Amino acid sequence: MEKHYKFSIWYVIIAIWGVFLLNNLIVSSYGPKNLPYSDFLTALKNGEIVDVAVTGDVISGTMKTTDKGEAKDVPFVTRRVDPSLSDELAKYNVTFRGQPESTFFRDLLSWVLPILLFFGIWYFMIQRMNPGGGGVMAFGRNKAKVFAEKDIDTRFTDVAGCDEAKDELKEIIDYLKTPERFQVLGGRMPKGVLLIGPPGTGKTLLARAVAGEAGVPFFSISGSEFVEMFVGVGAARVRELFTQAREKAPCIIFIDELDAIGKARGMAVMGGHDEREQTLNQLLVEMDGFDPRVGVIIMAATNRPETLDPALLRAGRFDRQVLVDKPDVAGRLAILEVHAKKIKLAPEVDLSVMAKKTPGFSGADLANAINEAALLAARRDKQAVDMDDLDEAVDRIVAGLEKKNRVINPKEKEIVAYHETGHAITAHFTPGADKVHKISIVPRGIGALGYTQQLPTEDRYLMTRSELVGRIDVLLGGRAAEDIVFGDVSTGAHNDLQRATDIARAMVSEYGMGKTLGPATFPRQNRPVFLTPEQAPLAGREYSEATAARLDEEVKAILDDRLERVSTLLAEKRPALERVARELLDKEVLDDARFEALLDMPKDSGSDS
C-alpha cells in the first residue's frame, strides 16, 4: 500500500538549524583570521598591515605573514576598542580584542520567525482548501474508500428480500474466484453491473456483499465525489481510481449514485456542465480501455436510470442491469428476520403479521421499523419488544409522530371522526378495496388529524379499472360523510381530493380507461421510474388545449359520478356511520375487529352493547 507522508513544521526548524551550523563551520574553517585588536596595533606599528577596510567598529583587510619561510598576505578581521582604553591596556602588555554583540536571537526574530509564520499560514490555507490532506497536488486524487478483503464482513446472508438479484450476482463472484472456468470457453464477464431500484432497497449493501463473498478489495465512491470546483479534477480522479484498481486486481469498483456524473449529455438547461461531461467521458474511456481478463468489475447503483447517458448502458460498459425492487411479503419477512436477530423479541411476536402490514416498505424502512420498535420498548422499560411496539413503530413511519398534546376543540374532533369513519365504511362496502386495519383520530405528523389504515390481502402488480375506481371512492368517503352529517365540508379532504384527481386523470390520460378519448394516452414526460410523483419534476404536455379541455371534463365526470355513488352508500349506512363515529370519539383508535363488530350490530343497538 502506498505510504503518504504528512508535512511537519519540525522539518523546517531542523533545516534552519542545519543552515546555521553549516555557516559557522564554513566561516571558522575558510573565513578571514579573527585577529585580536592588540595584535592589530602591534602589526600596524611593525608595518605588517597591507590594507584595511573600516566599517563601523569592524576593521578588515590583509596583513603580511610568514608560513614555512614563505611570505604571503593573509586576510584578517578585528574589532576596534576605545582608544583611551587600548592605551591603558597596552601599557601593561594586556592582550585585548573587540567582542561583537550576539545578534542570534535578534536575527531569529527578524527573519526566521516571519518565514515560519508564512509557512504556517500557507499550510493552514492548504488544509482548509483540501481537508483530505495532500496539499494542492491532491485535488486530482480520487476519494474512494478502499476496503481490503479482510475488512468486509458483509455476506449474502446479511442481504434478504432480493433473491433474484443475488442469483444474478453470483456469476460475478464465481468469476472473481475462478476466472479460468469462464475463460476456457472463451467467454468474458460483463465489464459493468448496474444496480437499479427505488431508494432504500439495499443496492449498496448488495455490492458490499458481493465483495465480501468474493474476498476481493472493494473501492467505494459516490458519483458526486468526482466533481469539484476545479476543471479537470473529476477526470483525473477517474484515471487514478482505475489505475489503483488495476494494481489491486481482482477487485470491485462501486460507484454509488451514478446519475450524479452519468446524466445524458446535453440535458442541462443552461447549455451543459462541461466538468461533469468531461468526467463522464473519462469514465467511458476507462471502461473501454481496460482488459476484462484483469479482473476489475465495475458496479454502480442509481434510482434514476432514465436519466443516464445511453453510452453508459450500451454493451461493453454497463451491459448487465440488475433490478433491486421493493420486496414482496416473503421478502419483507426475510428482511425482518435478519434485522430482528439484533434485538430481543417477545415470544408472542409474529413477524409474518408485520410483513403483511408493511406493503410497499423498502429494506431500509423495515430496518427502521425494527429499530423504532426497540427504542419504544426501551422507553417503556419493557424486557422485550412486543407486537404493540412493532405496530406503533409502523404507524410512526406511515403516518408520523403521534401528537397527543395537540389540543383539538370538540367540534373539529367530531368532524375528523366522521371523516375517517366515512373512509372506513366506504372501503368496507366497496368491492376490490383493501381491508380496513385501523382507524385513528389521534393527530400525527405535520398536518394529519386522523387516518384510516388499509392493508392489502396480497401483493399486487396490476390494477383493474374497477379497483382504481374503488380507490377513488374510498378517498371521497371522508368528504361525503362530512356533507351528509354536517351539511358542510371542511379543508380536511384536501389531500384526499388531490389523490383522487390524480388517479382519475391517470385513468383517462395514461391508462386508456376513459370513455371520451378511448385508448389514446398522453403520459407525462420523463417520469421517474422509481421516484414518487411528488419527487418528480414538472413536465410539459404534448396535446392541444382542446384535448386538455376534454380530459378535464372527463376527469370531472368521473369524480362527480363516484362522489354521488359514495354519498348514496353512506346515506344508506347512516346508522353504522353514527355507531362507528361515536365509538371512535370515545376510544380514539379502533382496530379491524372492533370496527367490523360495530358494523354487524343491529340498527337499534348502541355502541356500548
Rg of the chain (C-alpha set): 42
pLDDT of 1 over the 50 cut:
no
Q: Which region among 137-151, 393-407, 572-586 has the lowest average model confidence (pLDDT)? A: 137-151
Domain 410-599 belongs to what architecture? Answer: Up-down Bundle (1.20)
Per-residue pLDDT tens for 325-364?
A: 888 888 889 999 888 888 888 888 888 888 888 888 888 8
Mean pLDDT computed over 49-53: 73
Mean pLDDT computed over 201-228: 83
pLDDT, residue 567, reads 93
Mean pLDDT computed over 451-465: 78
3-state percent breakdown (helix, strand, coil) of the chain, nearest 5: 50, 15, 35
Name the segment(s) of the chain with CATH classification 3.40.50.300: 140-323
pLDDT, residue 609, reads 32
User: Which of 389, 405, 410, 475 has its CA nearest to residue 442?
Assistant: 405
Distance CA 588, CA 584 (A): 5
pLDDT of 132 over the 90 cut:
no
pLDDT, residue 139, reads 45
pLDDT, residue 29, reads 56
pLDDT, residue 608, reads 39
Q: Measured at the alpha carbon of residue 220, what is the angle toward residues 196 and 230, in degrees to the nearest 5? A: 100
Q: Which region among 97-106, 366-375, 515-524 has the lowest average model confidence (pLDDT)? A: 97-106
- Burial-class residue 344 by CB neighbours within 10 Å (0-12, 13-18, 19+): exposed
Mean pLDDT computed over 298-312: 87
- Using H for helix, E for strand and C for coil, what is the string for 456-476? CCCCCCCCCHHHHHHHHHHHH
pLDDT band at 130 (very low <50, low <70, confident <90, very high): low
317 Cβ neighbours under 8 A, 6+ residues apart: 191, 192, 284, 287, 288, 311
Identify whether the C-beta of residue 454 lies closer than 8 Å to the C-beta of residue 380: no
Q: What is the percent of the chain with per-residue pLDDT over 70, rounded to a whole number?
A: 75
User: Strand pairing partners for 321?
Assistant: 194
Q: Which CATH class is domain 329-398?
A: mainly alpha
Top pLDDT among 467 and 51 is at: 467
- Residue 3 CB: number of other CB atoms within 10 A? 4
Per-residue pLDDT tens for 469-518?
A: 999 999 999 999 999 999 889 888 888 999 999 999 989 888 888 887 77
The winner for highest mean pLDDT among 10-24, 163-177, 185-199, 299-313 is: 299-313
- Residue 591, H or E segment: strand 589-591
Distance CA 554, CA 548 (A): 10
420 part of the active site: yes
Distance CA 357, CA 338 (A): 17
Tell me which of 275, 286, 420, 482 is the catalytic residue.
Answer: 420
pLDDT of 142 over the 80 cut:
no
Identify whether the C-beta of residue 234 lies closer than 8 Å to the C-beta of residue 226: yes
190 Cβ neighbours under 8 A, 6+ residues apart: 318, 319, 320
pLDDT, residue 426, reads 93
63 Cβ neighbours under 8 A, 6+ residues apart: 35, 43, 48, 49, 50, 73, 74, 76
pTM exceeds 0.75, yes or no: no
Q: What is the DSSP string of 6-38?
A: PP-HHHHHHHHHHHHHHHHHHHHHHS-EE--HH
Mean pLDDT computed over every residue of the chain: 78
- Using H for helix, E for strand and C for coil, what is the string for 321-348? EEECCCCCHHHHHHHHHHHHCCCCECCC
Q: Is the peptide bond before 250 cis (omega within 30 degrees of 0)?
A: yes
pLDDT, residue 93, reads 58
Per-residue pLDDT tens for 154-205?
A: 888 888 888 888 888 888 788 777 777 777 777 677 778 899 988 888 888 8
User: Which of 297, 417, 390, 395 has its CA nearest to residue 336?
Assistant: 390
- Using H for helix, E for strand and C for coil, what is the string for 94-117? CCCCCCCCCCHHHHHHHHHHHHHH
Name the segment(s) of the chain with CATH classification 1.20.58.760: 410-599
| Strand 218-222 to 251-256 pairing | parallel
CA max distance for the chain:
145
Per-residue pLDDT tens for 395-418?
A: 888 877 766 666 678 888 889 999
Name the segment(s) of the chain with CATH classification 1.10.8.60: 329-398
Distance CA 75, CA 478 (A): 111
- Give the C-alpha distances (Å, rounded to integers) separating 326 from 199, 356, 397: 9, 14, 16
Q: Measured at the alpha carbon of residue 444, what is the angle toward residues 438 and 446, in degrees to the nearest 5? A: 140
pLDDT, residue 243, reads 84
CATH number of 140-323: 3.40.50.300
Top pLDDT among 1 and 319 is at: 319
pLDDT, residue 7, reads 53
pLDDT, residue 483, reads 92
